[in-house]
Copies of this chain bind each other. A is one copy, B any other.
Amino acid sequence: MKIAALAGGVGGAKLALGLSHVMDPRDLTVIANTGDDIVMHGLHVSPDPDILTYTLAGVVNPETGWGFAGESFTTQEGLARYGREVWFNLGDRDLATHIHRTAMLKKGATLSQAARSIAEALGVAARILPMSDDPVPTMLDTDAGAMHLQEYFVRHKCAPVVNAIAFAGADRAQPAPGVIAAIEEAGGIVICPSNPLISIGPILAVPGIRHALRTRRADAIAISPIVGGKSLKGPSDRMMTQTGLEASALGVARLYADFAATLVIDEADADLRMGIEALGMHAVVRPTVMRTLGDKERLARAVLDIAGGAR
């Protein structure tokens, strides 16, 4: 069965890795958020596709979930010496990715073509598609001013209060080649446990993607990234509360109910099942916290079982 998965970075990559281990990875398409993309020192950095690629290639830094394992930062030290702002960590091996991507883009290649070149070189069998080849930067309106998501995330360490989230340019963006087809052709669609607002949200904002998902609602399974009212990783919970949403699996259900028939929630949230089902979704209780590779594979198998049964 072919699977199309929507994912952001570290959290989504955990389930994507699990999926790639328990199915033929050539049948897996991961549609990656590119709202985090940013130009640093003139280089196009594409954090979420890279995290997914490095994770599925088995070269990711296991401690951080991003960057290469055993990375060095020699070039960045040089950049700092030249007075450049280095709040965004770029390792030496990672820089090769950004230099290669930027050089390809400069020669007229698309972001998807660059992503494919990188994934192929690192031996990734699954297909990782940027959500769009067009720029759709996620911009936050915060109490510390307007800023790019990466500034909020890395530079300000998620401290500012978020008032609103905008996907700049989304109205003019097109889904990257293969994205809509992957959704249409998949036996199951997986919304990974990524931040609903800034990882899945940007993907949904690309015209055509949410519509395509709605036509596949019966086969779409989301996994709540909020467990017991807390995000497993990152500021999902705070951002939901700050933007007037309920930071819970029920709050996630409200965001996804129109295009996903099933929400996988953690055992800790079993009491939310009734509320979720009242939205017209199936609530399926499973262990969703992924610490070990075994956890990732177990949740991936559970998702595939649901997808198989849903058909």
A residues near B (Cβ < 8 Å) are: 41-43, 72, 74-79, 81-84, 92-93, 95-97, 99-100, 102-103, 106, 117-118, 121-122
Q: Are B118 and A92 in contact (CB under 8 A)?
A: no
Q: Are A78 and B96 in contact (CB under 8 A)?
A: yes
User: CA A78 – CA B74 in complex, angstroms?
Assistant: 14
Q: Are B96 and A82 in contact (CB under 8 A)?
A: yes
Q: Are B81 and A121 in contact (CB under 8 A)?
A: yes
Q: Are A83 and B117 in contact (CB under 8 A)?
A: yes
Q: List 18 A-B contacts (CB under 8 A).
A: A42-B99, A72-B72, A72-B74, A74-B92, A74-B93, A74-B96, A75-B92, A75-B96, A77-B93, A78-B96, A78-B97, A79-B96, A79-B100, A81-B96, A82-B96, A82-B118, A83-B121, A95-B99
User: CA A79 – CA B99 in complex, angstroms?
Assistant: 8
- Copies of this polypeptide in the complex: 2
Q: A42-B106, A95-B78, A106-B42 are in contact. Are A84 and B72 (CB under 8 A)?
A: no
Specify which of B41, B74, B82, B117 is in contact with A82 (CB 8 Å cutoff). Answer: B117
Closest Cβ of chain B to A100, distance in Å, is 4
Closest Cβ of chain B to A105, distance in Å, is 8
Q: Are B93 and A75 in contact (CB under 8 A)?
A: yes
Closest Cβ of chain B to A232, distance in Å, is 31
User: CA A311 – CA B106 in complex, angstroms?
Assistant: 52
Specify which of B76, B81, B92, B121 is in contact with A72 (CB 8 Å cutoff). Answer: B92
Write out the residue numbers on chain B whose beta carbons fall within 8 Å of the beta carbon of A81: 96, 121-122
Write out the residue numbers on chain B whose beta carbons fall within 8 Å of the beta carbon of A83: 117, 121
Q: Are B95 and A75 in contact (CB under 8 A)?
A: yes
Closest Cβ of chain B to A16, distance in Å, is 22
Closest Cβ of chain B to A133, distance in Å, is 18
Residue of chain B at shortest CB distance from A43: B99
User: CA A121 – CA B77 in complex, angstroms?
Assistant: 12
Closest Cβ of chain B to A96, distance in Å, is 3
Closest Cβ of chain B to A80, distance in Å, is 8
Write out the residue numbers on chain B whose beta carbons fall within 8 Å of the beta carbon of A118: 82
Residue among A72, A79, A96, A97 having the largest count of chain B Cβ atoms under 10 Å: A96
